[in-house]
Amino acid sequence: MNKSIQTIKKYVRLANYITVSQIYLRDNFLLERGLNFDDIKSRLLGHWGSCPGINFVYAHLNYLIKKHEQEMIFLLGPGHGFPGLQANLFMEGTLKKFYPEATVDENGLGYISKNFSWPYEFPSHSNPGTPGVILEGGELGYSLSTAYGAILDNPSLIAACLIGDGEAETGPLATSWHLNKFIDPKENGAVLPILHLNGYKISGPTVFGRMSNKELKSLFYGYGYEPIIVDGFGIYIKMQRALEKSLKIIKSIQSKARQGKKIVSPRWPMIVLRTPKGWTGIKELDDKKIEDNCLSHQVVAKDAKTNIEHLEALEKWMRSYKIDELYNKKNGVDEDILSMIPESRLRMGEMKYAFAGRMRKDLILPNPDKFAEEAIVPGTIGSSSMRRLGLYLKEVFELNAKNKNFRLMSPDETYSNKLDEVFKATKRAFVWPKEKWDDDLDSNGRVMEVLSEHSLQGLAQGYVLTGRHMIFASYEAFVEIVTSMADQYAKFLKIAREIEWRGDIPSFNYILTSSGWRQEHNGFSHQNPGFISNMIQKEGNFIKAYFPPDGTSALMVMDYCLQSKNCINIIVAGKTLEPRWLTPELAKQEMERGIMIWNFASDKNPDIVFSSIGDYMTKESLAAIDYLKKEFPEIKTRLVNILELSSLGFGKCGCTQEDFDFYFTKNKPVIFNFHGYPETIKQLLFGKGKNERFFVHGYIENGSTTTPFDMQVRNKTDRFTLVIEAFRILTEAGKINKDKAEKIIKRYEDKLRYHDGYIRKYGVDMEEIENWQWKRNA
């Protein structure tokens, strides 16, 4: 056995021992006497089963890093293997730099052991408080896509991604294998996937674990990888050779690409590692097989606090690692083990790429004014928000071409979403075979298009958490696919914002377009604003949803979001040709406040207030005001446009009660017309005054293949429904004559009936709708 293998084995033994100590012990950390019940934590938490494989991989990666001085980050898919990861961070000295009590001695071992899975101390999973971590892993499936995002535009970096075989059964992980087809070896780093097969999930076998090596090699070869199997006798030397081979393949592909050779369908390496679940742990207990079975998944000998048989089994297990050979009080950790640890700058826990604040460079941004179409007269037709944003983002790509720190993620929708102007500055990344008729594909393109929202969300997370900037543009209805991933990222970001050494992280920016209001041609399946409701319910005021009412406003919002840090920004914008309402100056003013009274549609001391949130909703609200003023010129109205929503409420700071009263008056009726679900606005209105004066309209889950205006009618957000409601409110308040109002209401109800017959006959909206323009102050 060569010296390096002996050293790696000693390293793994110590890592395994420290892992077990964290799960079980509150005292007697070096087993200087026999274990007793008082040495065991009262509440045993954590997962053992995956940890020995994690320690085995981490040790071998350290050897590779030190030998070749290779920059590498480590992504742990099964985040419940955290005590294993923390054991390695402790041994390499990284943990002490961020947690001074984690000294690499008995006191430090006691510190991390007593505080693992302890209230307000170290959590049970990888977390934002863990140096080197850009993936929590508590919810499985996101490791590989996040790894691919991290290596984009980082040509010297390798992301070693340990994927659990249970995790590999999830949909997000399954699709992310294909991301190798978008990685240009000239401009980017490489991902080394390590599929860890220990055979079992929490209570049964895994699919991959029961596949033969032949089947696995066929599968991953078909995915475009060079699979290397590591299992069986001599596994340490096999793993060492597999990593050396993998590094050689990676360097060969990159070298050829960087010498100018054309690379098509590069076959990147990946490792399939088979080790027993709970390897080196208790073999049997209570007449049940433990090691190499699902029963080793979590806490083994879970009654060690009260059951002598369990306690003795735990002690025998821990002593099998021979801690006295690996550590002593006089000399500390064995010198051989210390020799395995790379220098500080190369340690995976300290790798600079995992600290966004160290890597971040602000984007160079153009002046958004130059892309705005002047609204000399409010309501002038001719603005498409997404077309405006396409022009703006094209220049963002051009200005940052040298920095290479900006990317657009899109699930095959860049053309559909009217952002294709960006293809004048860059292309879509693709390194697999291309046909001569393919448009806008290039190996080094900066637009990432794959029909998997999960993969794009993971790419984006890996990209921003390594300090770069991005936009994720999606059909509004289908971004819901990544709601759970977005939830997990929001949890990660909420904690990361409180950790000083994380630094400022570029904001995660969504564009939601092709909204349900203009998906009438695609039908009910394409109509769902639920992502907005879910995200803005979260506490902390770092998740913000923006509803620019026109193209000029969309530009100001985008410019603001790309400059922001430590936030999740959601921009909701239409792609159809719509009216222009605001000048650049007014749009900037509204951006600064997040809410604004539109003076061109407002009177002093209004009798009724209309409030619009969203581009299509704004047009319908203004049309309702137009009709109301035509019928009753003496009625005073106000239009309050809300640009920004968050958990705090309306506008930048959520509106104090004083601000709220300023915009919406203290006692006048307010008709809200909202892009999303009405309940979202009703929640934000809680405590703002008497609910009887608030009337909220929004998407109420009514849709089909129909006309654009009929989508509004079906959901009671259309101009006729709004103005009828206003007539009734004003009649009840004694502001207009009841008899006159009833006649007018009947006329507008007749319009709705006529509309229904018209679209059934002609298939398009009435000319009154198609040709309507705001003319009040023209």
Give residue 687's pLDDT band: very low, low, confident or very high (50, 70, 90): confident
Contact 184, 443 (CB under 8 A): yes
The DSSP-derived string for 311-338 is HHHHHHHHHTT-HHHHEETTTEE-HHHH
Single-letter amino acid code for the residue at 760: R
Other beta carbons less than 10 A from residue 166's beta carbon: 29
Q: Bridge partners of 284? A: 289
Distance from C-alpha of 618 to C-alpha of 625, rounded to nearest angstrom: 11
Which of these, 140, 213, 153, lies nearest to 182 by C-alpha position?
A: 153
Distance from C-alpha of 106 to C-alpha of 142, rounded to nearest angstrom: 35
Distance from C-alpha of 605 to C-alpha of 658, rounded to nearest angstrom: 16
Q: Bridge partners of 407? A: 470
- Return the pLDDT at 381: 85
- Return the pLDDT at 1: 55
Where do the domains of the chain lie? 3-348, 359-579, 596-640+661-770
Distance from C-alpha of 224 to C-alpha of 378, rounded to nearest angstrom: 55
Distance from C-alpha of 448 to C-alpha of 403, rounded to nearest angstrom: 18
| H/E segment holding residue 498 | none
CATH 3.40.50.970 fits 359-579, yes or no: yes
Which of these, 9, 38, 41, lies nearest to 24 by C-alpha position?
A: 41
Distance from C-alpha of 9 to C-alpha of 653, rounded to nearest angstrom: 56
Q: Bridge partners of 271? A: 194, 228
Which of these, 307, 322, 230, lies nearest to 270 by C-alpha position?
A: 230
**Strands 543-546, 568-572: parallel, antiparallel or unpaired by DSSP?**
parallel
Task: Indicate whether 581 pLDDT > 90.
Answer: yes
Model confidence pLDDT, tens digit, residues 562-575: 999 999 999 999 99
Distance from C-alpha of 552 to C-alpha of 433, rounded to nearest angstrom: 40
Residue-averaged pLDDT of the chain: 96
Contact partners, residue 751, CB within 8 Å, separation at least 6: 720, 768
User: Which three-class secondary structure string do you get for 122-144?
Assistant: ECCCCCCCCCCCCCCCCCCCCHH
- Return the pLDDT at 751: 97
Model confidence pLDDT, tens digit, residues 521-575: 888 889 999 999 999 988 888 999 999 999 999 999 999 999 999 999 999 999 9
Q: Tell me the C-alpha to C-alpha distance, in Å, between residue 70 and each of 149, 198, 275.
A: 19, 28, 26
Helices (H), 547-675: 551-563, 584-593, 615-631, 657-664
Distance from C-alpha of 83 to C-alpha of 81, rounded to nearest angstrom: 6
Task: Indicate whether 487 pLDDT > 50.
Answer: yes
pLDDT above 90 covers a percentage of the chain that reads 93
Contact 298, 48 (CB under 8 A): yes
Q: Bridge partners of 227? A: 270
Query: What is the phi/psi pair of residue 320, to 5°?
Result: -65, -20
Model confidence pLDDT, tens digit, residues 111-170: 999 999 999 999 999 999 999 999 998 889 999 999 999 999 999 999 999 999 999 999
Task: Indicate whether 500 pLDDT > 70.
Answer: yes
CATH fold match for the domains 3-348 and 596-640+661-770: yes
| Number of DSSP helices (H) and strands (E) in the chain, helices first | 26, 26
pLDDT, mean of residues 19-34: 97
473 three-class SS: strand
Give residue 375's pLDDT band: very low, low, confident or very high (50, 70, 90): low
pLDDT, mean of residues 446-456: 97
Considering only 18-27, 307-316, 376-385, 439-448, which range has the smallest mean pLDDT? 376-385
- Sort 287 into a burial class: Cβ within 10 Å, 0-12 / 13-18 / 19+: exposed
68 three-class SS: helix
Total residue length of the chain: 778
Task: Indicate whether 332 pLDDT > 90.
Answer: no
Assign domain 596-640+661-770 to a CATH class: alpha beta
Distance from C-alpha of 570 to C-alpha of 530, rounded to nearest angstrom: 12
Which of these, 128, 134, 173, lies nearest to 151 by C-alpha position?
A: 134
Contact 48, 18 (CB under 8 A): no
Task: Indicate whether 498 pLDDT > 60.
Answer: yes
Give residue 778's pLDDT band: very low, low, confident or very high (50, 70, 90): very low
Contact partners, residue 729, CB within 8 Å, separation at least 6: 608, 669, 671, 695
The DSSP output letter for 627 is: H
Distance from C-alpha of 435 to C-alpha of 358, rounded to nearest angstrom: 41
Contact 37, 52 (CB under 8 A): no
CATH no. for 3-348: 3.40.50.970
Contact 544, 538 (CB under 8 A): no
Distance from C-alpha of 180 to C-alpha of 430, rounded to nearest angstrom: 9
Contact 542, 494 (CB under 8 A): yes
Which of these, 711, 680, 713, lies nearest to 696 by C-alpha position?
A: 680
Give residue 374's pLDDT band: very low, low, confident or very high (50, 70, 90): confident
Distance from C-alpha of 573 to C-alpha of 477, rounded to nearest angstrom: 13
- Return the pLDDT at 412: 86
Tokens 């699709």 identify what position?
Answer: 175
Contacts 24+ apart (CB under 8 A), 26-33: 26/113, 26/114, 27/110, 29/106, 29/109, 29/110, 29/113, 30/106, 30/109, 30/323, 30/324, 30/327, 30/329, 31/315, 31/318, 31/319, 31/323
Contact 660, 605 (CB under 8 A): no
- Return the pLDDT at 689: 78
Model confidence pLDDT, tens digit, residues 589-631: 999 999 999 999 999 999 999 999 999 999 999 999 999 999 9
Q: Is the pTM of this model over 0.85?
A: yes
**Strands 508-513, 469-475: parallel, antiparallel or unpaired by DSSP?**
parallel
Contact partners, residue 87, CB within 8 Å, separation at least 6: 15, 16, 18, 19, 22, 51, 55
- Return the pLDDT at 377: 86
Model confidence pLDDT, tens digit, residues 189-206: 999 999 999 999 999 999
608 φψ region: left (φ > 0), alpha (ψ -120 to 50), beta (else): beta
